[in-house]
Structure 1
């Protein structure tokens, strides 16, 4: 599975159009995604102070079946490979979603279903 932290406006648009896209698709040519173990550090670095976030779980096999290209590319700043999706994600490929917000102390936590996987 791949994961994407989504801004509320992007998620609402996806629910209206049937496809998830975010500004990075236009800016970078792909949608940034994460593996499960990368979610919390991504949230800490890029989503502090954001309200109304959703965590999307995306089935990579469903993306492949829809003909979408996914590549793992090296992120020098994190010293890890990250999955990039090179087209809008059809809602059928999004298996689960969770509200994703920081605790009062400002730390993000994974949904219970993702703990220990």
Structure 2
């Protein structure tokens, strides 16, 4: 399982169209930014701090139609990038994220099913 931080509005559109096309920042970069279970909280802190309209998408990488590429990013770590859209059939769960009193996103417990963790 890999994870993506979706804007609520983009997720709402995906539910009506059957395909998730990403956030504006993803589209500008030419790929969808995803993370493993061990990376997602740091990604949220670095790139989405304080945002109140996020939904955590739990994505089954085996069900992606688009090209999934593991690319080096911060600190030499490999991150999953999807070059294309994510069909709703690949999204196994969508969890709205809330902020705690310190403005930190509260994540559900995530497994580390992915061998890249």
TM-score, normalising length: structure 2: 0.86
Residue 109 of structure 1: CA displacement?
2.9
What residue in structure 2 maps to residue 81 of structure 1?
A: 78
RMSD: 1.7
More strand by share: 2
Residue 79 of structure 1: CA displacement?
2.8
More helix by share: 1
Q: Aligned residues, how many?
A: 112
What residue in structure 2 maps to residue 16 of structure 1?
A: 16
| Structure 1: stretches of 5+ with no match in the other structure | none
SS of aligned partner of 1:37: coil
| Superposition misfits of 4+ residues, deviation over 4 angstroms | none
| Structure 2: stretches of 5+ with no match in the other structure | none
* Deviation by residue 1:46-73 (Cα, 9 ceiling, x = unmatched): 111211210000001111xx3x210000
* Deviation by residue 1:6-35 (Cα, 9 ceiling, x = unmatched): 111111111111111122443121100001
TM-score, normalising length: structure 1: 0.86
Contact (CA 8 Å) 2:37, 2:111: kept in 1 or not? no
1:92 and 2:89 equivalent? yes
Contact (CA 8 Å) 2:68, 2:81: kept in 1 or not? yes
Counting only pairs closer than 5 Å after superposition, residues 1-117 of structure 1 correspond to structure 2 as 1-22=1-22, 23-63=24-64, 66=65, 68-75=66-73, 77-112=74-109, 114=110
